[in-house]
Amino acid sequence: MSQQFTPNNPLPQEAKVPAQMAVFSPEVEAEIDGHLAKYPLERKRSAILPLMFIVQRERGGYLDPPGVAYLADRLGVRITDIWEVATFYSMINTEPVGKYHLQVCRTLSCKILGAGKITALCSERLGIKPGEMTSDGMFSLSEVECLGSCGTAPIMQIGFDYYENLTPQKVDELIERCRSAQVSNGVR
């Protein structure tokens, strides 16, 4: 049986248990309770992904160690279980990201249709490389695995929205729309 995280029952030495656990407002706790109510008590770990989105939103756009500790405690799972899910999905950020997180698909269809050029253009326009954030915190850039829209490649995701059939002109327009706050940054 796997060891569960609780404040009085920390994980083995090799798993890092943060010194603090995230705390949320009563409104956020109610939102979390609403998601947990959708699952049988013995299957509450099934709510891990929707709860990650809430914690990510509330913790500044990424899942930090105190947020992970909160989720592990709330769901009765190991901290490692939370990190395993968080690092699998590209829509869960485990490091700080910019207000506008540009995620360019790099898999085959997108690559064949010019994703590399789109990434290079974004890098040039923003002055950052994939994996970096602009000094003002406005933009971050990532290359991600398949976004599932191969027929409209190359594609970029910002927040929860897709931008398809990208061209250099579309990318320039999109960056300018972000700068003027005409694009959703995905915070819901």
User: Are residues 8 and 75 located together in one domain of the fold?
Assistant: yes
User: Are residues 2 and 76 located together in one domain of the fold?
Assistant: yes
On whether the CB atoms of residues 109 and 150 are closer than 8 A, the answer is: yes
User: Are residues 87 and 105 located together in one domain of the fold?
Assistant: no
- Average pLDDT estimate for 137-163: 93
Q: Where a domain ends, among 74, 92, 110?
A: 92
Site of tokens 């939370």: 82
pLDDT of residue 58: 93
User: Are residues 87 and 10 located together in one domain of the fold?
Assistant: yes
Q: What is the CATH number of the domain that holds 137?
A: 3.40.30.10
Instruction: Tell me how far apart the terminal alpha carbons of the chain are, to the nearest angstrom.
Output: 37
- Average pLDDT estimate for 49-68: 93
User: Are residues 84 and 115 located together in one domain of the fold?
Assistant: no
Domain assignment present for residue 187? The answer is no
- Cα separation of 112 and 153, whole Å? 9
User: Are residues 77 and 120 located together in one domain of the fold?
Assistant: no
pLDDT(76) > 60: yes
| Helix, strand, coil share of the chain (percent; to 5) | 45, 10, 45
The average confidence (pLDDT) of the chain is 88
- Domain region containing 173: 100-179
> Phi/psi of residue 28, each to 5°?
-70, -40
User: Are residues 113 and 173 located together in one domain of the fold?
Assistant: yes
pLDDT of residue 2: 38
User: Are residues 126 and 72 located together in one domain of the fold?
Assistant: no
Kind plus residue range of the DSSP H or E element containing 57: helix 48-58
User: Are residues 68 and 125 located together in one domain of the fold?
Assistant: no
The C-alpha angle 33, 36, 41, rounded to 5 degrees, equals 125
- Average pLDDT estimate for 109-130: 96
User: Are residues 69 and 124 located together in one domain of the fold?
Assistant: no
Domain assignment present for residue 47? The answer is yes
pLDDT of residue 124: 97
